[in-house]
Structure 1
Amino acid sequence: MTIAVIGAGYAGLAAAVELARNGQQVEVFEASRSLGGRARAVEMDGLTVDNGQHILIGAYSETLRLMRLVGADPQRLLKRLSLHLEFPGEMRLVAPHLPAPLHSLAAILLATGLNWREKWAAIRLMRRLQYAQFRITPDVSVTTWLEQNKTPSRQRRLLWQPLCIAALNTPAEYASAQVLAHVLRDSLAASRAASDLLLPQVNLSALFPEPAAQFITQHAGVIHRGQRVTDLQRAEHGWRIDGQGPFAQVVLAVAAYHLGALVPELQLEVEHFAWEPIVTSYLAYPASVCLPQPMLGVADGTAQWLFDRGQLCGQAGLIAAVISARGRHLDLPVAELEQRIHDEVAHIVPHLPAPLRTRTITEKRATFACTPNLRRPVTQTTLPGLWLAGDYVASGYPATIEGAVRSGVNAARSILGLRGH
């Protein structure tokens, strides 16, 4: 019998690809015409952009594996840069091409904008984590953990807090130090390539979802676009989806806040979750405008990170500004928010003209708030034949593309295990 996947984001498509490559017949149901879920392409005045600017890192092993499997060559679709964190006028940290762990040690020691006391404090903090095998017990907020380790305030502002926001999409005063430690373990403290920045050179739907859909259809699967599932019912031999089926197994790969509408019994699994937004403002300038680097940080600004889509995607003059997690920026009128971001870009780009057009996209529930000791649901539900996939499913990772992909692969392999594969 066919296996159904509800939701064609990165988690759902990862599950479907893993099932299809193992000879299973799969049908994917997606409410939107665009694939990718909360990491998808959108149209902006004739340009294809993303509903939020995302980056990958070299440690995203499952995402890179599945990209290769479906024919989405990471070397062509991703711009690989050695770890490069730069806040113009404040700090610049670049990992040299040295074997691990010398690459991260040299990056800190050679960083500009941090004094020697701050550099040694950063090295000591990483060494303590390594000695503790990256376990923080009890789990506390990142702010509390940094205070316990007497981390200098300037180092927090320019290094740990930006990393926390970028990785967990949760302010440091609320974010889980244990989950951040997992991220540091698998990036800065792993191989040199694991900490590389992988910046998409195509839109997020073209990066993996569209090639994945093609792979699934080539393996006798079906993708139902624009088909919102409104009714999921147990049947004698599986599950029925809007009257279709029965399906032997169902992978529920929708956003966590949609679970209760489809399966009321699952509402308790996520009703305690809080949510964090991501705001992405696109400012289109004349084609001659570019940033000194494809990705730059903004210290103490309204924007947190700036991306030059001309250098990344061939969209000359288009700057994407990202603001992760909650903050006072959410109270600003859109026009004022975009003006503040323009002023911040003007501090980096001399003689910057006014933008030709702008657009701001707000994902109000982009990720769950990654707080200490958060109880997250597991892949296998208490209902026979029903599985969960999504970046919110229990793991040691925050809500990232890699977390979503791993959850989908885990759901697929659990089903394959039942079937003797």
Structure 2
Amino acid sequence: MKDIEQLKSLWKSLFGDTEAFISLFFHEVVREENIRVLEEKGRILSALYMLPYPFRIWNQEVAASYISGAGTLPEAQGRGLMRRLLIDSFKEMEHRQIPLSILIPAEPWLYGFYEKSGYATVFAYNQQVYPPKDRSLLSTTGGTSPSSVGFPPKEQRLEEEGFSYKEEGVRLGEDNLQQPEDSLRYEKDGLQCGEDDLQYSENGLKYGEDAILLEKYSISDLGDSFLQKREDLMDACFSYFDQRLRERNACILHPYANFRTIVHDYAISDGKIWVALNNEHIPVGIIFTVPAGGSSFVAKEVVADSEEEKEVLLRTALNHYHASSGIYRTVVSNASSEEGQTIPFGMARIIDANKILSMWAAVNPERRLIIHLSDQLLTNNNGSYCIESGKCYKTTINEHIHAFEVLTMDIGQLAHFLIYPEQPFMSLMFD
């Protein structure tokens, strides 16, 4: 039986997480059979955790083992302990017939370290700034509530922009400057500044032609709902979230128990999860945010029915953190019209080459390949693989090889060749 208290102490010393998160991780996230350690005289020197996740790619699902919390005591580093643990975990995955391992390096230099064990950088995200540089937003810094966060009363919204609301008209600032009727018009349904500028109405805010009707939605704090045991909302949000993830080209999925643990983590930390509900109280968008330095925020995940719902959720985060701007992550897509910075984010290591190649071959029946593969750590992967007519099998060189495209690569190059073009995405991995 593993010494959980010693493992908690090791985690705390290496990563500096809160006691609440560490307790959550060891009670709800990891199971004892997925803990790998190296000890010396009863003292744990190095540890890692193998967390199971489904990975959806090529319209199929495959089991993946996510390496989390990999670390070694400073005084024991440089002895190759982590490499030994990785090899041990690969053998265990092979035994359990888990064909893929994934991880997120904690530091940039670790990408090179993991490459030596057969990992390749295949995961990335597109980093977007909100609001875009070419558009400014009204600043709303009022208080928030689960049902109306992001939507202060009309009088408050006007006053925060230097407007005083009066039934008989509009007064600007302290000088009571009256604008000519053709420049600034108060109407029964709100404030109108020319035809192309910002309009306020009872229905919400409009930015030119891009109407963001904020008050069409109610916003719920999912962390509070979790603590209040609102299981109906939790179930609806999970179903919606899972559906949106499965629509992506390639993505790590989150089973229901894992989704609940993520929400629990955000509920006891300084993160926030907001859900946009339509007038039938059905989820139409979810955003997962954490605070960043300088009164900003990072949205580690956002899913929404449309750009309108995404805008509402991002504006909610902006208001909550009293921020002038924030960052959110999206799937990398060649077809995307959004500008942003592509950030490498995670790595994959193929454990069972024949399984992964067979999945790839099934969706590429037109390809005819011979792949000469080498794997220094898992020798079962070594050999030549023939891919034709949607099938993959090990083969020996024969006289018909001239009819095939021939490739020679190692196991890391194979992961990059097969998985990277699918632009896979992962998020909310307790990283």
Q: TM-score, normalised by structure 1?
A: 0.26
Point out the structure with the larger strand share.
2
Q: Point out which structure has higher relative CO (alpha carbons under 8 A, 6+ apart).
A: 1
In our comparison, the structure showing a higher alpha carbon Rg is 2
